[in-house]
Structure 1
Amino acid sequence: MRRCFTVRQRRILAWIAASRCAQCGNPLEPGFHADHRIPFAYGGPTLIQNGQALCGPCNRKKGTTMPTPKLRPWQQEAHHKALTWLVKDRQDHRFLINAAPGAGKTRGSCALAKTLLELGEIDRVIVIAPRAEVVNQWADDFRQVTGRYMSKVTAKDGDIHQLGLDVCATWAAVQGLQDAFQAVCRAARVLVICDEHHHAAVQAAWGEGADSAFAT
């Protein structure tokens, strides 16, 4: 497996970081470090979604440590139960987290996705959220927790399978992305996170689209 990022990848990483170190925020110098968020030593791929632009001091400080988000007690409990259910016991491929608004279900779910990615249980993540502003929050939290870029997509984006990225969309966009989501799910092991899952009910306005997009 190739360890070094290409010149093109380095340029993209610098562009994503707005030419600033992703850790300390200082301006990047020409010889900045293209770092593997999940260390190469732990199987982290040399891909844009696993890369970040760091200054030399920040990269040396990070070393090969695995970043782990701090979780609240209920998030830790849910994290443990989900891993036991999905990975250890392999009871089912569905798991429900029921949390009050503002309790931190977004970051908790991102932490679970991070662990499943690191364990090699999944390849990609799709998040379906109720509104555009919530989609933005998911993308931001997902990047902070997992270190991976999450693309915000709409029905106009079409063939998202070719993007090779984790994606987030609104429930309203699912209808127009059915074929695209099916293609992604056929090509990779995908964790689908449904925020406000009641929208997925077949009787709901967007339920049939969700059922068709992610039917197994």
Structure 2
Amino acid sequence: MSKILVLGAAGKIARHAIHQFLGQEGVILTLYLRKSGRLQKLAGDSVEVIEGDVTDTRHLQEVARGQDVVYANLAGDNIEEQAKSVVEALEAAGVGRLIWISTLGIYDEVPGAFGRWNHEMLDDGYLEPYSAAAKVIESSKLDYTIVRPAWLTDKDEVDYELTQKGEPFKGTEVSRQSVADLVVKLAQDPTRDVRASVGINKPGTDGDKPSWY
């Protein structure tokens, strides 16, 4: 039996991951979000829905206690503050495994024309806090995996490849379903990509920008 806590559970990637988790035996989910009514219909014997804000460190610590894996699907201008609260809460609760969704470009790892375009699109107050949040996670004692998706699509497909921190990022886009598939696989295998940061993209999508621009 595996107990998984999903932070920011109403997010699009999180909803795909939750759907996949619900199809597995022996998984108990705790869904944590600011407006619990959005997912209350999922509550049941193997799913608990809890309303809360991850910056409420004490409450998050209480919820995290006893969990095997925490998957954080968070966003916002205060993402660094959220990261600090998550790390503090998980370390205090004795939970080691964290899967953290970030974004491409936080290490200036996107090469070529696409890298320049990505900076133009994301440098205005977006990449900086996500980079700072990643540093908070990497400085923790947690068995983290940071996931850095390419530009996201809603395509009904699971098709992806990975790059590691220190390697040039590949591709320009990836489906949310693909990211969710990776999250579920990471949750299933506590030894996979531990204390690592992985980029995820759809193979064959190299270019100057995503296909819809």
TM-score by length of 2: 0.31
Greater relative CO, 1 or 2 (CA 8 Å, sep 6+): 2
Higher helix fraction: Structure 1 or Structure 2? 1
Higher strand fraction: Structure 1 or Structure 2? 2
Larger Rg: 1
